A and B are shown apart, each in its own frame.
Chain A
């Protein structure tokens, strides 16, 4: 196996740089040196910088890291499990499912004429996760025997549009306030979370990663297909529930908090495969997590237009970056060969 031991240190370095870049960019530019010295010594050149970094940008960077890890790990799990290079939380309608959960929570109250009091972070997370898990179960029931990329994509698209239709119906009947709340959510944002919500997201990410640690070997075996995996003592049905649980919590939780974020889940595992040139999940899982974090940190930084206080919606940026990556991969034709 052509080991490339230098790759992980380099990626960690890139991650550090991305965090610094992400922290320094924004409506106010804060130099790298000031951030480093501020964090390590606790003395900030300006009080406002301390406030901005610690209470606004640092939680946002953490969210970017958690979301990057969660979405890429979900994507990798789904690609291996479905043996389909085009699988991913967004393409398969998981994000739409989470959206439905959140929409029901935010919109249904006003649509049916009663107020759902106490929309707190946990409720949003729970709604997103259950919506995601529900759609994922539906898709995996249909796609279980489907090895063909096109069919799986179409199934995912159908689920996605069915869910969107339900959301449209809900929007039509809901009040202006709730609608605005939901629309802002659906644009996606990493920065709207306070420390307590970041904590919840962290817990969810950890929870979603837990099943992954115990099934790395099974994912490697699943690369040969369900029948071979079974012949090697792996139970694919158990893996299916682990995968649904893990990706539901990861993609669902992240979508609930940050809104739908496209293309990270599908593109990052391929980037990891290309860079590390391996199919071994012991390497691909950490590699995808690292690349996902870096990508999302950079996308978020790119969304911070210099000199303007407002930021681009994160979903728009990841789509602008991710879509060309996926198209390039498809055009290169070794898309599935490199799987």
Chain B
């Protein structure tokens, strides 16, 4: 049973976006249709410069759409004031943040800004929500640490907690995992998914991490130059091959078996025998070394590893490649 009624938190219809400068206007995105559901984590993927930031700016009300309709909780986004929009949508941006003297607790408390009076004093409910945001992101222990003294991953979690404390229906994160190590990427993305599911929020994450997005996202939005936005379950998009839209040239393909993007090459030119998972790495290494064909068979032995080629034995791939190249 779902705890929250799933509904469309944010919807775009035939949206056309761009920038006006003087009399000239530059359209960046057109004919955009999308639906962001509550209780789901949606990942927006697309190459640099395709207009992801423009879309975020439009959702935040910072630029007005040229045409089309953008609605939040069923109401046109233009009818929201800056203050009431702030109560509905919270963001984590890529902007670097300055105040090293601020504690994590104070940062998260700032999320209550749209809800507090002129002095920013927190009432009981505000404090409850701040504590809940801290515990939901599992950083309660960092509460009194200063921003200058915590790691990048911890700071990103603190920024997510701040956005969570803002208590809107929609959370938008612009590349929250950039500059983070692998473990932190996974942690943050699964944290976001937990928040979406457990608190019924509609979460939109802009990311370039295809691997992790596939593992964690409920829905993908694929944005590409000149094509309409593709929306669907990640697995659906993979099975239908639409995920390849992300890849600009035919050189790369999404490998269904490995679940990742690979350089496309015709593997049949190699004649390799051995365990399937080892063959993969041998091929990869040969292809990277610029070797496109090998006369004769390569045999792989596992435990201990050695490779046999035309009667020679090699302990490492490096040895084999050196032999093949000379």
Evaluate contact between B166 and A279: CB separation under 8 angstroms: no
Does B198 belong to the interface (CB within 8 Å)? no
The A-B contact count (CB < 8 A) is 96
- Distance, CA A214 to CA B84, complexed state (A): 19
Taking a contact as CB atoms closer than 8 A, the residue among B60, B90, B95, B106 that contacts A1 in the complex is B106
A-contacting 9-mer, from B42-50, B113-121, B302-310 = B113-121
Interface residues of A in 225-267 (CB under 8 A from B): 225, 227-228, 230-235
A1: B residues at CB distance < 8 A:
103, 105-106, 144
Are A225 and B98 also in contact (CB < 8 A) when A216-B119, A230-B62, A232-B113 are? yes
- Distance, CA A331 to CA B275, complexed state (A): 61
Taking a contact as CB atoms closer than 8 A, the residue among B83, B106, B144 that contacts A279 in the complex is B106
Evaluate contact between B82 and A279: CB separation under 8 angstroms: no
Interface residues of A in 1-27 (CB under 8 A from B): 1-2
- Distance, CA A114 to CA B116, complexed state (A): 56
Q: Mark A204-227, 1 if CB is under 8 A from B, else 0.
A: 000000000110110011011101
Closest A residue, CB atoms, query B113: A232
B107: A residues at CB distance < 8 A:
224
B105: A residues at CB distance < 8 A:
1
Evaluate contact between A223 and B95: CB separation under 8 angstroms: no
Q: Mark B84-100, 1 if CB is under 8 A from A, else 0.
A: 11110111010111111
Among B84, B102, B116, B166, chain A packs the most CB atoms within 10 A around the CB of B102
A273: B residues at CB distance < 8 A:
101
- Distance, CA A216 to CA B89, complexed state (A): 23
**Chain A nearest Cβ from B135, distance in angstroms:** 18
Are A217 and B119 also in contact (CB < 8 A) when A1-B105, A223-B99, A279-B99 are? yes
Does A339 belong to the interface (CB within 8 Å)? yes
Give how many A residues have a beta carbon under 8 Å from the other chain's beta carbons.
31
B85: A residues at CB distance < 8 A:
233
- Distance, CA A277 to CA B144, complexed state (A): 12
Evaluate contact between A221 and B101: CB separation under 8 angstroms: no
B: residues with CB less than 8 A from A are 60, 62, 82-87, 89-91, 93, 95-103, 105-107, 110-111, 113-114, 116-120, 144, 148, 166
Having A83-B98, A233-B114, one finds 16 other A-B pairs with CB under 8 Å, namely A1-B103, A216-B118, A217-B113, A217-B116, A221-B113, A228-B93, A228-B97, A230-B82, A231-B89, A232-B113, A278-B106, A334-B148, A338-B100, A338-B148, A339-B98, A339-B101
A: residues with CB less than 8 A from B are 1-2, 83, 213-214, 216-217, 220-221, 223-225, 227-228, 230-235, 273, 277-280, 282, 334, 336-339
* 12 A–B pairs (Cβ distance < 8 Å), ordered by A: A2-B103, A83-B98, A214-B118, A216-B118, A217-B113, A221-B110, A231-B60, A231-B86, A232-B166, A233-B113, A273-B101, A338-B101
